[in-house]
Chains A and B, each alone.
Chain A
Amino acid sequence: MTTLVQHTETPDPAATHRTLRTLAGVEARRYARHPLFLTGVALMVWAMVGMAQGLASGTGDAQLLLVSDGTTVPAFFLGVLGVLVGHRLTRSMARSSEAVEASPADGVTRTAALCLACLVPGLAAVVWLAWNYVAMAIWPGPYSAAISSTNHAAMLSAGVVYAMGGPLVGVMVGRWTRFPGAGLVAAVVLVGWSLLGTFGLLMSASRVGTLVHLNAPFTTWVSSDSPAAASWVAGGSPGWYLIYVTLLCGVAASAAMLHEAWGAQRSRLVRVWAVLVGLALLALALAAASDPTRILLPRG
């Protein structure tokens, strides 16, 4: 073949970054307008009102409510519903895939933009977290002194990670599978995995029980031995658990991007993914290795 038209452009990484930023904004707006996300936010607001009424009337147990609902509300209303939202947003362009693939924004950039859009439910969960602290200030205690403010913050902050983690799993499943119900299946699997983790709460206070409890991607820290008995907070390290679920988010995001990557980029992403998996397992081990003693909650 002879010489063709020669052009002098060089690769422009800045263009890729600008595209990622712009595309992430577009995807974030799509996420924020998605009916399932709006439903989740409405349910969260409804839960806020319900909690406030319970705490204000004195019928609610302050610490029990804040530790328990503080994580389960964002986990279910933003995280589990977010699996479906993330999956639908990812698959929504599948019917235009040929035109999309012929654009200069490669698959990794497009997937990264979708992952960044998962900050939207994270932001909604931050509002929920802030409300929890406002509620603590308005309706003080009694709170157990055995739970440090750092551990309390770690437990509550996990809700923010749950809210982003579910959608990231949705994006990952949307990239790796093609059948329409895959998002729903992923949500069910995630809930099932989380329910399996509650078996750790039924076991005696031990490191094995803590490991069974804390390997779940969504967990609640509060349980009781019977409906009439006092509630207690499970053992283990909330701080390391928070790091564990955060790393799981990274595992999901890198796995999603891996599907579209090739060449050197793919090798880099495989390494990143492997390191994140290793660190997540280490964080889980450290979370479970902490003191398994359960902390009784004072009655409100």
Chain B
Amino acid sequence: MTAATTVGLTGITKKYHGTTALDAIDLSFEPGITGLLGPNGAGKTTLLRIIATVLSPDAGKVRLLGRTPATPDELAQVRRRLGYQPQEMGFPRAFTGFGFVDYMAVLKEWTARAARHDEVRRVLDLVDLGDVATKRVRNLSGGQRRRIALAQAMLGDPDLMLLDEPTTGVDPEQRVSLRQVLSRAGERSTVLLSTHQTEDVAALCDRVVVLDQGRVRFDGAVRDLVATAAGRVWMADAPDPAARASWRTGTGSHRNVGETAPPGAELAEPTLEDAYLLLLGDRALTTEVAA
């Protein structure tokens, strides 16, 4: 851990009714964008909730932004510099997009009305919602609601941003736009991005952490994870029964991810998704791909 570390987790354990969600996790995060990958139930959301200070671990130590959030004062100090987009986020029926983000800005201690409204407009423009800000949230699409949730997390350019599946339900054009916003945020803040979208992680993240069954299965540079799949991805005319995963691509040939080359196959450039499938094996196939 270095002086630039903004999140330090030591031995973090969390159980729900006897099921271990996180098992003695040791992680630290520094400025930049880190992707959190893992199948459903791997512990990603639990990890983010603990870092967001809305859930206490059963065991272990949490250090956030140089503080131990154990007292109300320390918690408030951490939360002033934290932005959190939860995985599931509902909205009060009567609120407009602007009204909701404005309410959240008040909770984040933006008490001067003019400055607060400027900031709310800024974050809504960042997520391309400036033109629908006066619409009631219930009348917005799922993707627009996700962006409202992201906008409130970006209020005040927090030093630590925790984003739980921010691009789910967002159309491709908006996803590219959000990537630009997040990449700029990652230049000065520590951004933790939990997602099922391996392409988002490949496009945005310097580092990736793969969680599975509450444990860290991989922690390193994205390119290092991709490199683990080198020589294990093949393009062939037919699916390989021995492959870990195999599917027909749009060109008519089959992409086979596995240990051995099918007859007549050619080596293909591996992607992060290939590496992820190889790392988690059947668990990734039954959860991630199905999802």
List residues of chain A with CB under 8 Å of any chain B CB.
1-7, 9, 11, 15-16, 18-19, 21-23, 26, 30, 33, 92-96, 98-106, 110, 262-263, 265
Contact = CB atoms under 8 A, between A and B. Distances in A.
Contact of B92 (A23, A96, A263): A96
Given A11-B77, A22-B106, A105-B106, A95 B91 contact: yes
Given A21-B111, A104-B80, A99 B5 contact: no
B13 to A, nearest CB: 16
B208 to A, nearest CB: 22
A19 B107 contact: yes
B84 interface: yes
A96 B90 contact: yes
A26 B89 CA distance: 21
Nearest to A19: B109
A92 B63 contact: no
Given A2-B1, A4-B63, A106-B76, 6 more contacts: A1-B10, A5-B66, A92-B93, A102-B82, A102-B84, A104-B80
Interface in B202-226: none
Interface string B74-118: 011101101011101111111000001011101111010000000
Given A18-B111, A92-B92, A106-B72, A5 B86 contact: no
Nearest to B2: A2
Nearest to B88: A98
B33 interface: no
7 contacts: A18-B111, A21-B111, A95-B90, A96-B104, A101-B54, A102-B84, A106-B72
Contacts of A102: 52-54, 79, 82, 84
B107 A23 contact: yes
A98 B54 CA distance: 7
B196 interface: no
B93 A99 contact: no
B3 interface: yes
Which of B66, B89, B108, B109 is packed against the most chain A CB atoms within 10 Å? Answer: B109
A104 B107 contact: yes
3 nearest A-B pairs in the assembled complex, by CB-CB distance = A95-B90, A103-B107, A98-B86
B65 interface: yes
A99 B149 contact: yes
Interface residues of B, number: 48
Contacts of A4: 1, 3, 5-6, 8, 63, 65-66
A18 B105 CA distance: 13
Contacts, number: 116
A14 to B, nearest CB: 10
B65 A7 contact: yes
B4 to A, nearest CB: 7
Nearest to B4: A5
Contacts of B88: 98
B89 A19 contact: no
A108 B93 CA distance: 23
A103 B93 contact: no
Nearest to A98: B86
A104 B108 contact: yes
Contact of A99 (B3, B10, B106, B152): B152
A92 B67 CA distance: 32
A178 to B, nearest CB: 14
Contacts of B77: 7, 9, 11, 104
A137 B94 CA distance: 42
Given A92-B93, A99-B153, A1 B61 contact: yes
B88 to A, nearest CB: 8
A19 B73 contact: no
Residue picked from A11, A30, A96, most chain B C-beta under 10 Å: A96
Contacts of A96: 89-92, 100, 104
Contact of B107 (A30, A92, A98, A110): A110
A11 B73 contact: yes
B71 interface: yes
A104 B76 contact: yes
B44 interface: no
B61 A98 contact: no
A96 B108 CA distance: 14
Contacts of A22: 106, 111
Nearest to B82: A102
A106 to B, nearest CB: 6
Contacts of B90: 94-96
A4 B8 CA distance: 8
Contacts of A92: 92-94
B255 interface: no
Nearest to B10: A1
A15 B66 CA distance: 21
Contacts of A94: 90
A263 B72 contact: yes
A26 to B, nearest CB: 6
